[in-house]
Amino acid sequence: MSVVYGVSLAACLALATLFIAVQCRSRKWLVAFMLFLSAYMSLILLDSFDIRISPQAYLISLAILFLPGPLILGYVSHISTRKEVQLKDFTFCFLPVVTALLCGDLLGGYPMFSLVPRDAYKMDSYIMIFNMISAMAGIHLLMYLARASHLILKMKKDWNSYQSKTLPDSWYDMIKVLLVIFVANATQVLSAFLFPTGNKVSVGDIGFMILVTHFVYLSVRTTFRAIRVDNDADDIIYEQTSYFSKVLDEEQLAYNADAQRIEKEVLEGQLFLREDLSLSSLAQAVSVSPHRLSAILNNCYEKNFYEYVNDLRVAYAANRMIQEPNKSVTEIFYSAGFSSKTTFYGYFKKTYQVTPSEFRKRAQQTPDFQPAEPSVATADVVDINKQVVR
C-alpha cells in the first residue's frame, strides 16, 4: 500500500506544481487541496516506514486534519462566488499545536525534534489526546460539510429563481466532491473502530484513495479545460456581485465597443428570453468568452449576469403589461422568461417599488405614460419608476 501512497503523493505534488502555470478560477483551491493530500499522505508514509518522530511533533502535524473543512467550503464558495471562507475558519488548525505545546509531559517529555521508539505512541495519555484531536477533526469536517451543503442547496434555490430548469455540471461536481469527502471521512472512522491497531490495507485506506483519485481527476480535467478553452475552464454558476475595479481608459473603450455590439445582438435577438440562459451560453451566442462578458457587464453597467438578464426580463414584462392590457400578469411573466410568480413579483417590486398590478393600473391612469424599451442601461428603468411612483 505504501507504493500506492507514494505514487499518489508524486501525482498530487506534480499537479500542484502544474497549476502554477495554468490560469483558471479554481486554481488556488485545487492547489490547496493537492497540498493537503500530499501532507496527509506524507504522514501515512512516515508511519509505513516505521519512522517515529516525537509524539509532540506528530501531534503538531495533525493540524492538517483541520484543513479539509475550510478548503472544501472555499471551493464551493468559489464556484458560487460567495466569499464565505475567512482567516478565522483556519483557527482550529492551531488546536493540535497548542495542545502539543501545553501537554508536553503527557506526551512523554521527549525532545521536539527527535526519533522515538514505537512504545512512545502506546502511552495512555498520548492515545487519549490523539483520539480527542482526531474526534474533534472529524466533527470539524462534518460541520463544514454541513455548511457547504447548505450553501449548495441555497445555490440551487437561487439558480431556480433565475428561471433555469437545468442545473449546470459544476453544481453536480460539488455534490460529488462532498459525497466523496463524506465517504472518505466515514471510512476513516469505521477503520479506526474495526482496526484500532492498524492493518496493511483497511477500509479507511480505500476510502482515502477514492478521495485522492477523485481530486486528481478533477485537477486533470480542470487543467485540460483551461488549456483547451483559453483559461475559461470553470463553469460559473454565479458571477461576482462586487464589481471589478475600474480598468484603464484604453481597455474601457474596448469594453464599451463590445458592450454596444452585445447590447444590439441581445435586444434584437431577444436572447434574454431564452430558457436556461447562463453566462456561458449567452457568451457563446454573442461570440465572447464568459470571462470577457462578465468583465463587460461589471465595468460598463455595474451589473452581474443575473442582474443584467432579470433587468431585461422585467422591463420586457413591464412593456407587455402596458401594450397588452388584456393579457394576464401570469401569461406575461412566463413569456418574459420568469418561471416563478414569487420571483417575478419580488424582482418587479424591487425594480419599480410597486406590484405588477399597481404598475399596470397607474400606467393606465397616466395618459402620457410611455413604457421604456428593454435596455441593459439603467436609465430607462429609473424613468419608468419615477412615473409610476408619482
The predicted pLDDT at position 236 comes to 38
Domains assigned to the chain: 2-228 (1.20.1070), 241-390 (1.10.10.60)
CA separation for the pair 17, 38 (Å, rounded): 12
The predicted pLDDT at position 385 comes to 35
Are the C-beta atoms of 58 and 46 separated by less than 8 Å? no
The predicted pLDDT at position 390 comes to 27
Residue 251 pLDDT > 60, yes or no? Answer: yes
299-309 pLDDT tens trace: 788 777 878 88
The predicted pLDDT at position 374 comes to 45
User: What percent of the chain lies above the pLDDT cut of 90?
Assistant: 0
User: What percent of the chain lies above the pLDDT cut of 70?
Assistant: 76
Q: What is the C-alpha end-to-end distance of the chain, expressed in Å?
A: 76
Interval 28-49 mean pLDDT? 82
Higher pLDDT, 95 or 243: 95
pTM: 0.59
109-118 pLDDT tens trace: 788 888 888 7
141-158 pLDDT tens trace: 889 888 888 888 877 776
Task: Determine the distance from the C-alpha atom of residue 65 to the mean position of all C-alpha atoms in its chain, rounded to a whole number.
Answer: 21
Can you give the C-alpha Rg of the chain in angstroms? 27
The predicted pLDDT at position 159 comes to 64
Are the C-beta atoms of 189 and 181 separated by less than 8 Å? no
Interval 52-57 mean pLDDT? 84
The predicted pLDDT at position 82 comes to 59
Residue 161 pLDDT > 60, yes or no? Answer: no
Output the CA torsion 310→313→318→320 (10° steps). Answer: -170
CA separation for the pair 265, 271 (Å, rounded): 8
Residue 381 pLDDT > 50, yes or no? Answer: no
CA separation for the pair 95, 92 (Å, rounded): 5
262-319 pLDDT tens trace: 888 888 888 888 777 777 788 888 888 877 787 788 778 877 787 888 888 888 888 8
The predicted pLDDT at position 210 comes to 86
Strand partners, 115: 53
Residue 356 pLDDT > 60, yes or no? Answer: yes
53 φ, ψ to 5°? -80, 170
**Helices and strands, counts by H and E, the chain:** 16, 0
